[in-house]
Amino acid sequence: MTFHVPAATEERLVALADTDDKQFAVVTRPPKSKRPAGDEKRVAGVDFSKVKKFTDYRRMFDQIGKEIDAVFIATPNHHHAPAALMAMQLGKHVYCEKPLCHDIFTARRMAEFAAKHKVATQMGNQGHSCEGARRLCEYIAAGAIGKVTAVYAWSNRANGSVGPRPPQEPVPAGLHWDEWIGPAPYRDYHKDLHPHEWHNWHDFGNGSLGNMGCHILDGAFWALKLGHPTSVEVEEMLGGSKECYPLGTRIRWEFPARDEMPPLKVYWFDGKKRNAKGSAAADNDTPDSIGSSVQNLPPLVEELEKKHKIKLGGNGALYVGDKGVLWSDTTCASVRIIPEKQHRATRVPPARIPRIKGSHVSDFYRACRSGKPACSNFEYAARLTEMILLGSLACIAGPGRKIEWDGPGMKCTNLSELDRWVKCPVRKGWEV
């Protein structure tokens, strides 16, 4: 929420909702000097004594809904949908962090709600507003690297764990635990949940892929006109359990041909490599057996870095065509053809995609005022999110268990036990 409060203070901030009382102090302090000067000045100029504070957004909407025009949602993933759906139902514009929600069924429902209630929406994959993302699309459309048949994406995040759930602990002072659990199945408080480690757990987050995929794979989804994959499979994973995501994965999606584009395989690598002395079976992983600090990277990344004496970063993607390879960084802000000599020799294609003036947040505010869709509105963002959540679903299925996916029917045709994660149950009192 520390990013979103400065963004909200571009307009009149009327309320904050957080389940942790300590967060009110954190987000209402003037930002540290490393933040843009404009953010610092705006936040320092807000009289937060006049900003209403809630520990439950349901009560916020009930009590002051008429005072609200738009909301920013920056919660654990399992709270994205209830907050957004409640807001849209009341006719409020919604900026929601990535991924759009926690399960595939709800992603489609959020897109439907946005269209039904005619509200402005934006998902927080900020790179979608960047010049680089548009250049990526234009390079690929112009055939700069030929027909793309594979994408290799990677992230240094290791949002997962091993072993059983930690023992119950006292709820920290000021943390409203029942509200934090919200729509998810109730459990007692334990460490490795709040404030950040919820990413690791099936009931609340979507692992490293859910954390970073909407940034890193956005360019592939957009430029390569992706829709429903025919299958998704975890080829390898490190750690994980029946309740938590792994610490390292290699995931593969398979997409059919699209228009003039050939069939495509998309690969995702995240987290850590297995310790050379560790077990070969994920079920036997322990903290000791996964002690490696070596990042789990696509072999092609290591090959290109060595061959061309370059560094491609801890997060990024490679697009492999029959005429070359293109690289993008975490958010597609930077895009280059490899090697640099080929990049310099390639004509920059005409700018055919409309550019965004200002920031991703500015684009959202513009949509609120004009009625014209923001660039990562929920119609687009829900489809991107669905691809990402399918990868998380494959992590729950486990390595070697290929999911055959019926996109229009929204079901795993060969693993019906995963249906519970396609449409997660909602705890009583949190239904929308």
Q: How far is CA 44 from CA 4, 28, 40, 73, 242, in A?
A: 14, 8, 6, 22, 45
Q: What is the mean pLDDT of residues 113-118?
A: 98
Q: Decide if 139 contacts 170 (C-beta within 8 A).
A: no
The yes-or-no verdict on residue 278 having pLDDT over 60 is: no
Identify each DSSP E strand in 106-230 by its residue range: 121-123, 148-155
The yes-or-no verdict on residue 15 having pLDDT over 70 is: yes
The string of pLDDT tens digits covering residues 393-432 is: 999 999 999 999 999 999 999 999 999 999 999 999 999 9
Q: Decide if 120 contacts 377 (C-beta within 8 A).
A: yes
Exposure class string for 386-402: b at 16+ Cβ within 10 A, else e: bbbbbbbbbbbbebeeb
User: Cis bond leading into 339, ω under 30°?
Assistant: yes
Q: How many CA atoms lie within 13 A of 355 on its CB side?
A: 7
- What is the token pair recorded at 357? 């003036």
The string of pLDDT tens digits covering residues 329-386 is: 999 999 999 999 999 999 999 999 999 999 999 999 999 999 999 999 999 999 999 9
The yes-or-no verdict on residue 35 having pLDDT over 70 is: no
The string of pLDDT tens digits covering residues 239-271 is: 999 999 999 999 999 999 999 999 999 999 999
Q: What CATH number is given for 4-127+368-379 in this structure? A: 3.40.50.720
Q: Decide if 377 contacts 126 (C-beta within 8 A).
A: no
Higher pLDDT among residues 4 and 366, named by residue: 366
Q: What CATH number is given for 128-355+385-422 in this structure? A: 3.30.360
Q: What is the mean pLDDT of residues 26-54?
A: 74
Range list of H helices, 309-430 = 340-345, 360-370, 378-397, 419-422
Q: What is the mean pLDDT of residues 48-70?
A: 97
Q: What is the pLDDT of residue 279?
A: 45
The yes-or-no verdict on residue 130 having pLDDT over 60 is: yes
Q: What is the mean pLDDT of residues 208-221?
A: 99
The yes-or-no verdict on residue 276 having pLDDT over 60 is: no
Domain ranges (residues) in the chain: 4-127+368-379, 128-355+385-422
Residue with tokens 């029959």: 322
Tell me the CA end-to-end span of the chain in Å, nearest whole number: 24
Q: Which residue in 209, 231, 252 sits closest to 98, CA to CA?
A: 209
